[in-house]
C-alpha cells in the first residue's frame, strides 16, 4: 500500500535554530502534501497545503516565513521550522493525497519537536 515516510520522528533543538522535517512518498507520486500540527489532546490543525512545483498555501494564522514548506519533487515535501521557539514544540504530521488508495490520504508517522 501507499507509504509516506516522515523523518525525524523526534527532534530536540535549541531556541533560535532551524529544524527540517521531511516527508517522502515511497511508492507513489504525491502531487499534494498536507502539513498538520497537533497539540496534546487536541485535534490536528492544517498548517499548509503544498503542491509540487508551486508555492504552498498557508492557513490563516500560520506564518509562512516561520514554517517554510518546499515541495520540489513529486515524492518529497519538507517543512522547516525557522528560528524555533519553545512554543513551536508540538507534533507535526504530513499527509499525502493519493487518489489510488481506498482512503484517499496516507499519513506520515509524525515528528515530535521539542524546542529547549
Partner 1 sequence: KNEVEQSPQNLTAQEGEFITINCSYSVGISALHWLQQHPGGGIVSLFMLSSGKKKHGRLIATINIQEKHSSLHITASHPRDSAVYICAVKVGNEKLTFGTGTRLTIIP
Burial string for 27-39 (b: 16+ CB within 10 Å, else e) reads ebebbbbbbbbee
Minimum CB–partner distance for residue 44 and partner 1 (Å): 5
Kindly tell me which of 32 and 70 has the beta carbon lying closer to partner 1.
32
Evaluate whether 96 touches 25 at the Cβ level (below 8 Å): yes
Q: Which residues pair with 73 in a beta bridge?
A: 76
Minimum CB–partner distance for residue 69 and partner 1 (Å): 15
Angle at 59 (CA atoms; ends 49, 17), nearest 5 degrees:
80
Residues in the site for partner 1, rule: CB under 8 A? 9, 32, 34, 38, 41-46, 49, 91, 93, 95, 97, 101-110, 112
Kindly tell me which of 83 and 109 has the beta carbon lying closer to partner 1.
109
Kindly tell me which of 24 and 83 has the beta carbon lying closer to partner 1.
24
Amino acid at each position: 500500500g501507499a507509504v509516506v515516510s516522515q523523518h525525524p520522528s523526534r527532534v530536540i533543538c535549541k531556541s533560535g535554530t532551524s529544524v527540517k522535517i521531511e516527508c517522502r512518498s515511497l511508492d507513489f507520486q504525491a502531487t499534494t502534501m498536507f502539513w498538520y500540527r497537533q497539540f496534546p489532546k487536541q485535534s490536528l490543525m492544517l498548517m499548509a497545503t503544498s503542491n509540487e512545483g508551486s508555492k504552498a498555501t498557508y492557513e490563516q494564522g500560520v506564518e509562512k516565513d516561520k514554517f517554510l514548506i518546499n515541495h520540489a519533487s513529486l515524492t518529497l515535501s519538507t517543512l522547516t521550522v525557522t528560528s524555533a521557539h519553545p512554543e513551536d514544540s508540538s507534533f507535526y504530521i504530513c499527509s499525502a493525497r493519493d487518489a489510488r488508495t481506498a482512503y484517499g490520504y496516507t499519513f506520515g508517522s509524525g515528528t515530535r519537536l521539542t524546542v529547549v
